[in-house]
Homo-oligomer: A and B are copies of this chain.
Amino acid sequence: MGERIDYLNDPGAPAATSLVPSANVIVVSEAGQILLMRRTDNGNWAVPGGAMDLGESLTEAAVRETREETGIECEITGLSGIYTSPAHVIEYTSDGEVRQEFSVVFTARPAGGQLRASSESAEPRWVDPAEIPGLVMHPSMRQRITHYLQKRAEPYLG
């Protein structure tokens, strides 16, 4: 399995070669816990998410990726932000693709299912926001979760 390497504000980053629309989902339980999992490609904690496929909408992709990566069914409740900075690129060592960031971050509530891992995701679990600063996480993912926790009046449009 190849690695995923995130570059953020890094003058040594490789040039982007592709743009792949993706969704991330901040699923929040009634108790205010956030659904996180650990990526198997780089070991970082993250909210579930992934690329949109042809034939589905972006919100359908968001629900599907959450199911695949955590076992949890969810209902989309809103939009937290759109992250499309050219200063963030992601290199996939398996094939040399370099994607410019393109993530739409939705909010959601759980609607069934049971926690389970996948080949892309280990240790899915519900996490108290207070615990998040202590988890290993890429700065771009931490930024997205922090924006959500700030309860901004308008979605972030970066």
Binding site for B on A (CB under 8 A): 15-21, 52, 54-59, 76, 78-79, 82, 84-86, 100, 102, 104, 106, 154-155, 157-158
Question: How many identical chains are in the complex?
Answer: 2
The one of B16, B57, B85, B155 that contacts A57, using a Cβ cutoff of 8 Å: B85
The one of B19, B52, B158 that contacts A52, using a Cβ cutoff of 8 Å: B19
Q: Which of A15, A52, A84 has the most CB of B within 10 A?
A: A84
* Residues of B with C-beta under 8 A to A100: 54-55
- With contacts A54-B16, A54-B19, A76-B157 known, is A104 near B82, CB below 8 A? yes
The one of B54, B76, B86, B102 that contacts A21, using a Cβ cutoff of 8 Å: B102
* Residues of B with C-beta under 8 A to A54: 15-19, 86, 100
* Residues of B with C-beta under 8 A to A16: 54-55
* Distance A157 CA – B82 CA, assembled complex (angstroms): 12
The one of B17, B59, B102, B155 that contacts A79, using a Cβ cutoff of 8 Å: B155
Chain B's closest residue to A101 (CB) is B57
